[in-house]
Amino acid sequence: MMNVSRFLKNVILIELFVPVLLLTVGIYHGLMQVIYRSGVIHKASVAKLDYYQGLTLHGVINAIVLTTFFAVAFGHATIAFYLKKEPGKKATLLSLLLMVIGTLMAAAAMLSGKASVLYTFYPPLKAHPAFYIGTAMLIVGSWVAFWDWVVVYIRWKKENREINTPLAVIGTLVNFTIWFVCTLAVAYEVLILLVPWSMGWTAGVNVMLARTLFWFFGHALVYFWLLPAYIMFYTMLPKLAGGKLYSGMAGRIAFFMFLLFSIPIGVHHQFGDPSIGRGIKLSQSILTFAVAIPSFITAFTIAASLEHASYMRGGKGLYKWIWKLPFFRKDVYLFGYLINGLILFIFGGLTGLVNASYSLNNVVHNTSFIPGHFHLTVAGPVFLAILGMSVFLVSQLTGRKIYMPTINTIIPYLWTVGVLIFSAGLMWGGLMGEPRRTNMGLTYLDPANELYHPYWVISSMLGLAGGGIMFVAGFLYFIVFFGTFLRKRTAEPMIDLPVSESLHPEKRIPIFDTFKPWVALMVLILLMAYIPAISDALNNTTKKAPPYKPSDPTPVVVK
């Protein structure tokens, strides 16, 4: 248990409150999309918000704003709790300001309809410069927090040379190292290529270079979403189940493998792209299987920890022990959030391997199979961990009891049922060629339209049913989250994260308690994987593209 300063408490609370407030907009647009797509309505916009504008809001808010704010807030809590040192005030405040102001700028650009370019913002579709600058500020803000934690960590390590760095701290620092390195590419894309071009200072942009830089960032991004959840799986879930972590060493190996292999695999999003050689695509496809290994390891370690926990509670048998786990206990509601995420991730991980499998990707690329897959990951373990931990931290930091604890315990189960139906529909549709990112209600699912495609009716209806259930679960979460803020304060503000002890005594092995050799190896693999990709994109693409508004087939004239 740890008392926190008023300052840090307020920073973490703001970093949870702001993105969850915006998430109401993000989730509303999630619901709207399944309604548009299934052909229930045949409209381009509802309440003056266009389908593609809503899709941009849904992607940017849910996948960038919420996840980044949460990773920083959870990082503050983890670093302060485990190292017993609070992060520096100036850096923490600067980071908060950059993130909030940047987010407001990007939100204003999206809500005014001047940035309907989706969260991948592929040029030559052009957004308002405020969109690019705003998202860049959000990212730089998260860097500032990270640099400050590094300073705190180095100070701690000097005082504790012989003590094994806590697993949660290793996880947090690995995660933000990945984040910092991968966002360098997208910062270059945004600040050097896109901002001057969107201002009209440069005439054209090399589209293939921009796409390659985006995906340098784009796949590592998913591990940046995922690792906070992994930290919770390793350091909290066994404790919540009433047991111990089967192997802390496995956690260390997993985190350092993520450090090595999270980034040099981004080209697996570009198998259909021209200008990049087949050899590069094939080698990055194979590297993707290397990054699946830490997830296999995690699946075993966590399952073994849970089985052990269940035996401690009197569980028996080969499978019967499962029912001894605390699925519906209000006092360990976090268990429900985390275990449901893990169940979804079994399907999310396996479908991810399908996507990564080189020529097999031709079957699914850019079909609705892809959102079907990533709602089992980012809207699975990632989102559920964020929901559970945000309620947990708000309750502890405000000293208030959770509003409607029974509902809070049920939310992750409801959400999981919704996601499973939703993703089954989208993936089935995807295998029948249903495109992602498309307002299908206007053409393909409008019986009056000549492009009507009856095969996609049932699959998109499943998407609607699942999406509806997800919306209800999200709505209940908002009631619990905001309701908790409104209750009476009954305890002192504090942070008291559940801490799993190790089952076996863990010896300190120096190579798994240092970052330098791992980071050096990471940079080496990265250069080997990406120098050929970038050079291909530069050499095989001679033409540069002028900017286009999403609504106009003629380029924006630069005066």
Partner 1 sequence: MIDKFEKNVIITAFCISLVFIFSLFYAMGAKKADVTACLPYDKSYETARVNQVDKTTYQIFYVARMWSFEPAIAYIPVGSEVDLFATSLDVVHGFDIYNKNVNLMAVPGGVAKTTIKFEEPGVYKVICHEYCGTGHQNMQAEIIVNYPKK
Q: Which residue numbers are catalytic?
A: 219, 223, 373-375, 436-437
Nearer to partner 1, 156 or 258 (CB): 258
Work out which of 281, 308, 324, 373 binds partner 1, going by CB under 8 A.
Answer: 281
Nearer to partner 1, 149 or 216 (CB): 216
Nearer to partner 1, 276 or 382 (CB): 276
Residues in the chain: 559
Q: Which of 287, 398, 302 is nearest to 345 (CA)?
A: 302
Q: Kind of pairing, strands 49-50 and 45-46?
A: antiparallel
Work out which of 62, 183, 377, 439 binds partner 1, going by CB under 8 A.
Answer: 439
Q: How far is the CB of 539 from partner 1 (least distance, A)?
A: 7
What is the sign, positive or negative, of the torsion defined by CA atoms of 47, 53, 59, 61? negative
Nearer to partner 1, 215 or 225 (CB): 215
Distance from C-alpha of 98 to C-alpha of 136, rounded to nearest angstrom? 9
Check binding of 286 to partner 1 (CB under 8 A): yes
Is residue 168 within 8 Å of 231, Cβ to Cβ? yes
Place of tokens 């450090």: 259
Work out which of 270, 283, 284, 408 binds partner 1, going by CB under 8 A.
Answer: 270
Among 136-144, 320-328, 332-340, 364-372, the segment contacting partner 1 (CB under 8 A): 364-372
Compute the C-alpha angle 406/466/482, nearest 5°.
40
Question: Which residues, at least 6 apart from 218, have a Cβ–Cβ distance to it below 8 Å?
Answer: 120, 186, 266, 269
Among 173-181, 265-273, 420-428, 482-490, the segment contacting partner 1 (CB under 8 A): 265-273
Distance from C-alpha of 179 to C-alpha of 141, rounded to nearest angstrom? 12
Distance from C-alpha of 445 to C-alpha of 452, rounded to nearest angstrom? 5
The one-character DSSP state at 328 is T
Residues between 85 and 144 that touch partner 1 (CB under 8 A): 118, 122, 124-125
With contacts defined by CB under 8 A, how many residues of the chain interact with partner 1? 79
Residue 124, preceding bond cis, omega within 30 degrees?
yes
Instruction: Count other Cβ atoms within 10 Å, centred on residue 163.
Output: 11
Check binding of 363 to partner 1 (CB under 8 A): yes
Residues between 485 and 514 that touch partner 1 (CB under 8 A): 504, 507, 509
Work out which of 367, 459, 484, 500 binds partner 1, going by CB under 8 A.
Answer: 367
Burial class (CB in 10 A: 0-12, 13-18, 19+), 180: middle
Q: How far is the CB of 552 from partner 1 (least distance, A)?
A: 8
Q: How far is the CB of 221 from partner 1 (least distance, A)?
A: 18
* Terminal-to-terminal C-alpha distance of the chain: 61
Among 88-96, 289-297, 314-322, 465-473, the segment contacting partner 1 (CB under 8 A): 289-297
Q: How far is the CB of 512 from partner 1 (least distance, A)?
A: 9
Q: How far is the CB of 264 from partner 1 (least distance, A)?
A: 16
Is residue 158 within 8 Å of 225, Cβ to Cβ? no
Structure tokens at 400: 């208030």
Work out which of 88, 200, 277, 483 binds partner 1, going by CB under 8 A.
Answer: 277
Distance from C-alpha of 291 to C-alpha of 265, rounded to nearest angstrom? 9
Check binding of 346 to partner 1 (CB under 8 A): no
Residues between 2 and 61 that touch partner 1 (CB under 8 A): 44, 50, 52, 55
Work out which of 196, 272, 317, 517 binds partner 1, going by CB under 8 A.
Answer: 272
Check binding of 400 to partner 1 (CB under 8 A): no
What letter represents residue 142's amino acid?
S
Work out which of 5, 112, 359, 535 binds partner 1, going by CB under 8 A.
Answer: 359
Work out which of 435, 468, 483, 532 binds partner 1, going by CB under 8 A.
Answer: 435
Check binding of 290 to partner 1 (CB under 8 A): yes
Is residue 235 within 8 Å of 497, Cβ to Cβ? yes
Q: How far is the CB of 36 from partner 1 (least distance, A)?
A: 10
Work out which of 289, 311, 323, 485 binds partner 1, going by CB under 8 A.
Answer: 289
Residues between 513 and 552 that touch partner 1 (CB under 8 A): 536, 539-545, 548-552
How many angstroms separate the Cα of 69 from the Cα of each of 17, 64, 199, 443? 10, 8, 28, 37
Structure tokens at 260: 């090595």
Instruction: List, as one string, the DSSP characters of 213-231.
Output: HHHHHHTHHHHHHHHHHHH
Among 216-224, 280-288, 320-328, 374-382, the segment contacting partner 1 (CB under 8 A): 280-288
Is residue 543 within 8 Å of 537, Cβ to Cβ? no
Residues between 155 and 194 that touch partner 1 (CB under 8 A): none
Nearer to partner 1, 399 or 433 (CB): 433
Among 136-144, 205-213, 218-226, 391-399, the segment contacting partner 1 (CB under 8 A): 205-213
Nearer to partner 1, 362 or 514 (CB): 362
- Element (H or E) spanning 519, and its range? helix 516-539
- Element (H or E) spanning 45, and its range? strand 45-46
Q: How far is the CB of 540 from partner 1 (least distance, A)?
A: 5
How many angstroms separate the Cα of 400 from the Cα of each of 10, 162, 201, 330, 474? 14, 38, 53, 15, 21
Work out which of 247, 305, 390, 460 binds partner 1, going by CB under 8 A.
Answer: 247
